[in-house]
Structure 1
Amino acid sequence: MKIYISKSLSIAGYEGFHLVQDHIGTNFENPWDDFGYKVTFKLYHVSKGESNKVGTLKLLINGQKYTASYLYEKGEPLSKKIFDVTEVIGELEAVSLGESIDYYQKLSFVLGENQNKVDSLLSHLHDASYLIENTVKFTKFDGYDETIGRDGETTKSLIRKGYHVALGTYETETIFNLQLDEPLETMDPIEFRFNTSKEIAKTNINLLIGENGAGKSYVLKRITEVISGVHKNSHSWPFFHKLIVTAYSPFESFYTKTQLLDLLDKKHDQPKRKRKSKDRRNIQINKYAYIGFKDNRSNFNLDWPKESSVKSIKSIMKYDREENWWNEDTRLKTLKDTLSLCMDFDDVAVKLISTGEYYKINGHKIKSFNERKEDFDEKAGLFFLKNEKPISLSSGQEIFSYMIPSLVAEIEDESLIIIDEPELYLHPTLEVALINMLKKLLGETKSSAIIATHSPLIAREVARDGIVILKNKNGYTSAVKPEIQTFGESLEIIIGEAFEDFHTDKPFQSEIDQLKQKEGLDNIESMLSKYSTKIGDEALAYLFASEVDDNIDFEVK
């Protein structure tokens, strides 16, 4: 098995694996710089005259800050731009790691899950997941924390899973907990429980319920800080390959990708980056995504979701074009299948700037798409055509037209999606549709979600072991499970028990109390007769209860 380092993408004549610096074939002049270390490569596989991109990896040589320069010098030149490093690379004191789990999935495809071939390649590349027993040694290499280790929990996840994914022996955990230390001194620790092994009422979705001010959004934000490595947590966590935060509210304070990466730069004591460097960093580092009203510069922008949805379509088509050599499933199909659960449409389309015409997004017309994509009117957003005409969207469907394309574009296998109060813009039927769409998307990617919500309709779709209720009393917030089984329960019971409506004084009760005082407590029967057609059953029951002697025992049959 040959390994090369190449200064060009014209590599089809040399069978084997090619390390190509990340900037080659792009508009960037220089390789990506990880705090002084240049260790990022794209790995290509060449077979039978055809080259395919496997993925991105970081290859760190202990004591070297510029991996490519060292390999160019030590490798055997086969041409001006291609060097054979098969022998030299295996003798290095080095460590590498794929950028994402699909790097290992594609290696599995290319090598046919053949253990000898997988072992040979990963051994030559000093892959950290293959050499997992040497993890402590690798972490002591100069530059490890600034390069491979900078992604925190994602790095640990890839080290633990990568080799097994390449062999085809990895199985996703179906039961796991996420334990969060006390987010505040005045709040309980919080535990989220996930279980997809159940035949019914699977909990790949967890809910966080609580009255306004209980701390739901604060908890969600702390989760993002722990997973991204900004904040430490005493409990070990399940490993997610990507964290996606979704919040369509003018009051949310979640980090955009730029803000989060700024925090991580600060943690590494790095100087503030210029705008161009930040833009490239946002492309280079792909473990966190924010979906909402804040744009790439972290400014609140009501028009941004429309623009972002078209950018997401471009990302989806780019992904499908690059990955179709090994994966028959397409993200465009996933998008259409998911949105069809809440919309009746034939095609997804964009408007062309030059003509104002609608251009249908078709997975079989990649060449046409690439020729037209610069003409897309991003600010106009996406359109959904039925019988060649755009359909009218409700406000809730419009939110879905922003959210779902962005989720499909960003999600990877075993991601964690955080959604803050999605019911803000949704009709009750669309709240149910959201859960249907999420379950489909999560099921296809073996991912999980945590939703902060006030919606009993959403709570009805999640079992009690997947729900955490925050209760604030005397300045302290406790975290408890519902006392009832919420999955499939009536809305009245859920509202009463899980949302504590049974214990809340209601305005209609005050009106009835005033009416009773006005008409006299001895006149309840006539009041019942007089007002029975003007008030609902719960109000009638409350009125009738005034006539019941507390000392009378009832037997319910």
Structure 2
Amino acid sequence: MRVVFRGRATRRTKPSPLDEGDVLELLANDWDDFGFGTLFGVTCRVGEVSLDLDYLRLLVEDENPSRVKLQQLLSDGWDGNFPIPDTNYISVPSDISFYQQLEGVIGIERTIDVALALRDASYLVNVVRDEIAVALTQTTGFGRSLQRERGSIKAYFDGWRVLDNQHIAVLDLGFAFENVFGERSALDLKYQSSSPFPHDINVLIGPNGHGKSQVLHQMVRDWISPSDDTEFGFVRKPNLSRMVVVSYSPFEHFPVDLAGKRLKDVDAYKYFGFRGRRAPSEANRRGRIALSHEFPKRDAARSLLDCLSDDQKYQSIRDWANKVQTVEGVLRSAIDFDFATVEIPLARRARSLFAADTTVEPLSIMTGDDEERRQFLPIASDRIGVLDAAKVLDSLVEESGVTFFKDEEPIELSSGQRLFAYIVINILGAIKRNSLILVDEPELFLHPTLEVQFVGMLKRILKSFNSKALLATHSVVTVREVPADCVHVFDKGEDFLLVRHPPFQTFGGDIQRISSYVFGDSHVSKPFEDWITEQLAEFGSADELLAALGDGVNEELIVRIRATGRE
């Protein structure tokens, strides 16, 4: 495959490469990047297939900006073919999927040839040990431009593993935070282990007011705006591509997006909850942040289309876990449905939203009478290549959310099922390989069975996308699904915070034992215990009380009544 630069600029839609055959063409971009101008769009064709690759950053030694240098080289007689002769340069793609997509289509050997032509910094530094590349990674331009985005950091950190065919793993994460007393505390999040126990999920648990959610907020802040402060924040740069926050508490204040941040990879952070940004107005050009039940509906509809779009874009990646198919498989554990849909206007013909080259007949579902007639478009795993995801998004009635159908009739979901569906679809829509999912109090609207299904769902998704999760919770049901070294118990004294692991194995453990250790409820009088004491005083003995209760008593209560009677 040839790699070329013809001096063309990026447009709203990517043009096809000028050259014939298998070719990857860089397109100039006017993104300033603090004066370094290293950003290039990419258009790529292999055979008859166009690959939707993300952008790439290329740094030329001692030149600002890079795009001006490449244009000058063309004017001086360079034919535009890579590698650039007599020029020192390195590059980093905006996302690690860049070479994964190429490898899935042209094979690893030809992908390495492309990486060498572009002088990929990760491969040259970690595999080739190229001295010029190493020197360029020490320059200001590399740090301020090629490593200013989270996706590019991940691509440099682990990109060589894709090209060298090695496993990419999210490492243990150290994080120092300011606790509720204003002092420094530390977490050692365990995601690697030599034991067979699952280590995809870590849990923060403890009573209210101990600062669990505060830790998640600080983690988000350090991810979005890392500082040079070595006292707080991640101990070392996390090898992650994206951070996703899920919080349906009405009292949280996570950032809803990255508006106002001078970042190109705004998708390095995603938030889902009851808060969101209203449409821009003259008074507020970014849109006012508000609290509404409509935001989860909107997010779920968009996320389902993100699942469809990712399946179309990344299907060439080896072992790609199809997102729409995963949505269907996970949600059917809690909801009996045939397919999920999004609403489109009645005035929009379904055929106009299908891919140009498809021969599949359009399928849309009509509901309601003539006055309230509505049109729904199925988003199903057996129709991935049929729809044009971008066109559907442009036509989406997003306030309608996601509607599930069974036997061609819409299903009415319970509030718990609806929230469960929101969480599943949003996480799958946002997750990329090597993501960190932060979930604040997932048990708020889920009954115990859905809590267990939520953890099972999360484990399945994390495994499929080589990702990890951190949950702040009060749920001992959740803790029972996590090994003890992944459980971080927050215990507050009068003027200090202690973070520790349970001294016993929590995975598959006894819920009462976990609850007593975490919340100290063995020292708290329960209402039913007070009732037993009162009834014993009235009846005079345990035998008399048990006789009066008859068959309406369980074994545990019998033991407690007799024990209290002896006391």
Range of TM-score over shorter length: 0.7 to 0.9
Structure 1 residues 8-157: aligned runs within 5 Å: 9-11=15-17, 13-15=19-21, 16-21=23-28, 31-48=30-47, 50-75=49-74, 84-86=79-81, 89-114=84-109, 117-132=110-125, 137-151=135-149, 155-157=152-154
CA contact (8 A) 2:158 2:239 kept: no
My pick for the range that moved more, 320-329 or 391-400, is 320-329
1:454 positional shift: 1.2
Shift of residue 499 of structure 1?
Answer: 3.6
Deviations for 1:383-442, whole angstroms, at most 9, x for unmatched residues? 111111111111111112222222112111111111010110101111111112111111
Structure 2: how far apart are the matches of 1:164 and 1:535? Answer: 61
Alignment-derived partner of residue 194 in structure 1: 191
The 3 A distance-change label for structure 1 pair 77 and 430 is farther
- In 1, distance between residues paired with 2:234 and 2:377? 51
CA offsets 1:231-266 (integer angstroms, 9 cap, x no match): 55473365112111111111112222226x64xx5x
Higher mean C-alpha displacement, 340-349 vs 139-148: 139-148
Against the structure 1 CA distance between its residues 360 and 242, is the aligned structure 2 distance closer, same or farther, given a 3 Å change threshold?
A: same
Query: Which one of the candidate residues 481, 500, 523 is aligned to 1:503?
Result: 523
Contact 1:483 1:498 in 2 (8 A): no
TM-score (norm 1): 0.82
Determine the C-alpha separation between the residues in 1 that align with 2:452 and 2:524.
Answer: 26
What are the Cα deviations for residues 511-531 of structure 1, in whole angstroms up to 9, with x where unaligned?
444556x659x7565455445
Q: Partner residue of 1:251?
A: 251
Of 154, 167, 170, 2:166 maps to 170
Aligned equivalents of 1:344 and 1:234: distance in 2?
Answer: 42
Q: Against the structure 1 CA distance between its residues 103 and 529, is the aligned structure 2 distance closer, same or farther, given a 3 Å change threshold?
A: same
Q: 1:426 to 1:343 in 2, by over 3 A?
A: same
How many Å separate the matches in 2 of 1:424 and 1:513? 33
SS at match of 2:469: strand
Tell me whether 241-250 or 370-379 shows the greater mean CA deviation.
370-379
CA distance in 1, matches of 2:85, 2:447: 60
* Structure 2 counterpart of 1:320: 311
Distance (whole Å) between structure 2 residues aligned to residue 356 and residue 238 of structure 1: 46
How far, CA to CA, are the matches of 1:394 and 1:11 in structure 2? 50
Contact 1:484 1:497 in 2 (8 A): no
Asked whether the equivalents of residues 333 and 453 of structure 2 are also in contact (C-alpha less than 8 Å), the reply is yes
Q: Indicate if the aligned counterparts of 1:221 and 1:254 stay in contact, CA closer than 8 A.
A: yes
> Is 2:444 aligned against 1:448?
no
CA distance in 2, matches of 1:290, 1:368: 25
Q: Is 1:77–1:84's contact at 8 Å kept on the other side of the alignment?
A: no
Change in CA separation of 1:367 and 1:118 when aligned onto 2, cut-off 3 Å: closer
Q: What SS does structure 1 have at the residue aligned with 2:148?
A: helix
Partner of 2:272: helix, strand, or coil?
Answer: strand
Give the stretch that moved more between structures: 417-426 or 486-495. 486-495
Local SS of the residue matching 1:54:
coil
1:391-470 aligned at under 5 Å gives the runs 391-470=411-490
Amino acid at match of 1:125: L
Partner of 1:160: 157
Mapped contact 1:508–1:539 kept (Cα < 8 A): no
1:163-312 mapped onto 2 (5 Å cutoff): 163-167=160-164, 169-173=165-169, 176-184=171-179, 185-186=182-183, 188-195=185-192, 198-199=195-196, 201-231=197-227, 232=230, 233=233, 235-236=235-236, 238-258=238-258, 262=261, 265=262, 284-296=265-277, 297=287, 298-312=289-303
Partner of 2:322: 330
| Corresponding residue to 2:374 among 338, 347, 356 | 356
Alignment deviations for residues 353-408 of structure 1 (CA, whole Å, 9 cap, x no partner): 22512221243453466555433211010011111111111111111222222211
List per-residue Cα deviations over 1:14-63 (Å, max 9, x = no partner).
Answer: 343211245xxxxxxxx333334432223333344554233321112244
Q: Structure 1 CA distance, aligned partners of 2:82 and 2:345?
A: 54
Paired AA for residue 484 in structure 2: R
CA distance in 2, matches of 1:543, 1:202: 40
Displacement of 1:213: 0.5
Q: Is the 8 A contact 1:40 1:58 kept in 2?
A: yes
For the 8 Å contact 1:187–1:476, the answer to whether it is kept is: no
**Letter aligned with residue 397 of structure 2:** D
Corresponding position of 1:483: 503
Question: Structure 1 residue 2: deviation in Å?
Answer: 3.2
Deviates more, 1:227-236 or 1:299-308: 227-236
Quote the offset at 1:541 in angstroms: 4.4
1:301, 1:353 → 2: CA distance?
Answer: 23
Q: Look up the equivalent residue of 1:14 and give its one-letter code.
A: E
Give per-residue Cα distances to partners, 1:166-218, cap 9 Å, x unaligned.
Answer: 23x221338x432222433446422221246644x312111111100111101
- The worse-fitting range, judged by mean Cα deviation, of 438-447 and 495-504 is 495-504
Give the 3 Å change call, closer, same or farther, for CA 365–414 of structure 1 in structure 2.
closer
2:145, 2:437 → 1: CA distance? 25
Alpha carbons of structure 1 residues 341 and 35: separation in structure 2 relative to 1, 3 Å: farther
Distance 2:121 2:213 in 1: 36
SS in 1 for 2:104: helix
Give the 3 Å change call, closer, same or farther, for CA 512–288 of structure 1 in structure 2. Answer: same
- Give the secondary structure class of the aligned counterpart of 2:161: helix
8 Å CA contact 2:59–2:89 kept in 1: the answer is yes
CA distance in 1, matches of 2:154, 2:388: 38
Show structure 1 runs of 5+ residues with no match: 23-30, 266-280, 550-557
TM-fit CA distance, 1:310: 1.4
Find the aligned partners of 2:344 and 2:19 in 1 and give their Cα distance: 40
8 Å contact kept, 2:121–2:137: no
Deviations 1:239-297 (A, max 9, x none): 112111111111112222226x64xx5xxxxxxxxxxxxxxx5x743221112122245
CA shift digits 1:272-328 (9 cap, x unpaired)? xxxxxxxxx5x7432211121222454323211111111122322222333335566
SS in 2 for 1:310: helix
Task: State how far apart, in whole Å, the 2-side matches of 1:170 and 1:229 are.
Answer: 30
1:379 maps onto 2:421 in alignment:
no
Greater mean alpha carbon deviation, residues 535-544 or residues 238-247: 535-544
Task: Sort the Cα spacing of 1:45 and 1:479 in 2 relative to 1 into closer, same or farther, 3 A.
Answer: same
Q: Secondary structure at the match of 2:172?
A: strand
Q: For the residues of structure 1 that align with 2:20 and 2:79, how far apart are their CA atoms?
A: 10
Q: Amino acid of the residue matched to residue 55 of structure 1?
A: D
Moved more, 142-151 or 424-433: 142-151
Once residues 426 and 87 of structure 1 are traced to their aligned partners in structure 2, the CA distance between those partners, rounded to angstroms, is: 55
Displacement of 1:450: 0.8
Task: Specify the alignment match of 1:544 in structure 2.
Answer: 562
| CA shift for structure 1 position 101 | 1.3
Query: Cα distance 1:245–1:364, how it changes in 2: closer, same or farther (>3 A)?
Result: closer
Letter in 1 for 2:43: Y
